[in-house]
Amino acid sequence: MDRENKNRMGTEAIVPLLFKLSIPSILSMAIQALYNIVDSIYIGNYDQQALTGLSIAFPIQMILIAIAVGTGIGTSSLISRELGKGNRKKASNAAEHVLLLSIVYGIVLAILGSLFSRNIISIFTNNVDIIDYGTRYIRIILIGSTAMFVPMIANNILRGEGNTLVPMISMLIGSIINIILDPFMIFGIGIFPEWGIEGAAVATVVSRLLSGIFIVFMIFKADNEINVNFNKFVFNINIIKDIYIVGFPAMVMQFLASFMIGGLNIIVGTYNETAIAALGIYFRLQSFVFMPVFGLNQGYMPIIGYNYGHNNPERMKKAIKYGFIVAFTFTTLGFILFQTIPTHLIKLFISNSEDSEELILLGSKALTTISIAFPIIGPAIIGSTTFQAIGKGLPSLTLSFLRQIILLLPLAYILGKIGGVNNIWYSFPLSEFISSLVMVFWLRRALKNIFEDMNNTKKS
């Protein structure tokens, strides 16, 4: 890698650089979101109760995502900051540590999944059929969790050095293979037996395994700025600490999302089990709106982290401005989509059964109500990422806890008691508006102090 390419995060024009780094991740995240939707469409058309079982299992699956996302964000932030300081050796050592961590996490969760899957699913419902569907799905996911961790964590190694193309290809491999395998393994097409919901889980694990093999091969290639070499590996607890100073709050934020969805499943399930399926459909569809913003984050974070480490406040200000604008555009388009064709979106997930009418009504109301806050959610995500990129994970964690636990769950419970299940959906925009106001105040104050310190450092 030549010197000009190495320093592009500190010299190249912000807008072209942001898009150059983000577009591969935006595309890959969009494909990932499409997989989540297609997966649920197949299951919903296979059996509506299986779709509810999938929705019940979703918070457990998010625990895996939480571990991977937290570790990955911490890794990307650390690597970008160390490369900004010219410390290539520590950046490479961080990559070695997280590759080993991904295997350790996978082994632990495989054991837990083998032993306790049914017990975990039973927390959320008493319906025997739904428990059975959820258990059959999540057991396979947990047993194959190493295949989930490796690509999700390893992609962030290359993102930390500003390489978003290879992670995009890795995610495309996993998502496209998953989409292809799903109908064969769920419905039993060709040589495949009809595995139903278990087929969806097997397709997920197999596709992630192939994605992981690809990304690990690319990391070990010699032309990366990061040089992974386990022959010279030395365990360093300080690297683990550096990763999780940023990564642990991000991980907890994802854990909170899992807890939030599980709590919402319990709350809406007390009124109507069909509402659990409606909520599950919403979370699948919202990923198609928010995943591109998370893809934008993958290009945005290394720019902020590099220029923070390189003491360049003007480039940070420009990146923050354009990050907010692009994120607002993405989620506003999602708002328009959810407001104009909610019924058509819900019908994608169901067969032509008359029993689905209730799901259509509940789901359409959920989409139009919850999406009211979409335009402000994009900038809120970028604001949270800004804290993470400068090595301050606690504000992001606090804001997430405020939004999902302090505000959303109590509001959902209270509004449900007042007006039934359809009132519960209003808890989403209310919690988003309040937490976004807090985020804006906190971020402006933090950045003001940081920029003053950076400018004083330059003068001295």
User: Can you tell me the mean pLDDT for 359-376?
Assistant: 95
Q: What is the C-alpha separation between 388 and 386, in angstroms, rounded?
A: 5
Q: In 3D, which of 219, 399, 217, 225 has the Cα closest to residue 306?
A: 225
Domain that holds residue 48: 12-459
- Comparing 116-120, 122-126, 369-373, the range with the smallest average pLDDT is 122-126
Q: Copy the structure tokens of residue 346.
A: 């819900």
Q: What is the C-alpha separation between 82 and 120, in angstroms, rounded?
A: 40
- Which pLDDT band holds residue 107 (cuts at 50, 70, 90)? very high
In the predicted structure, residue 17 carries a pLDDT above the cut 60: yes
pLDDT, tens digit, for every residue of 286-316?
Answer: 988 998 898 888 789 888 888 887 888 888 8
Does 172 map to a domain?
yes
Q: What is the C-alpha separation between 207 and 314, in angstroms, rounded?
A: 42
- Would you say 391 and 243 are in contact if contact means Cβ atoms under 8 Å apart? no
Does 1 map to a domain?
no
pLDDT of residue 350: 85
- Comparing 9-23, 263-277, 366-380, the range with the smallest average pLDDT is 9-23
Most confident of 152-161, 269-278, 370-379: 370-379
- Comparing 53-57, 170-174, 223-227, the range with the smallest average pLDDT is 223-227
Q: What is the identity of the amino acid at 459? A: K
User: Can you tell me the mean pLDDT for 10-36?
Assistant: 81
- Which pLDDT band holds residue 195 (cuts at 50, 70, 90)? very high
Does 4 map to a domain?
no
Instruction: DSSP for 220-283, please give it.
Output: TSTTSSS---GGG----HHHHHHHHHHHHHHHHHHHHHHHHHHHHHHHHHTT-HHHHHHHHHHH
Q: In 3D, which of 406, 441, 442 has the Cα closest to residue 427?
A: 406
Domain count, the chain: 1
- Please give the C-alpha separations between residue 294 and each of 33, 290, 400, in angstroms, as whole numbers: 11, 6, 15
Helices then strands, counting H and E runs in the chain, come out as 19, 0
Does 6 map to a domain?
no
Does 410 map to a domain?
yes
pLDDT of residue 32: 74
Does 3 map to a domain?
no
pLDDT of residue 198: 94
Does 2 map to a domain?
no
With 0.85 as the threshold, say if the pTM is over it.
no
In the predicted structure, residue 109 carries a pLDDT above the cut 50: yes
pLDDT, tens digit, for every residue of 394-415?
Answer: 888 788 889 989 999 999 999 9
pLDDT of residue 396: 81
In the predicted structure, residue 4 carries a pLDDT above the cut 60: no
Does 7 map to a domain?
no
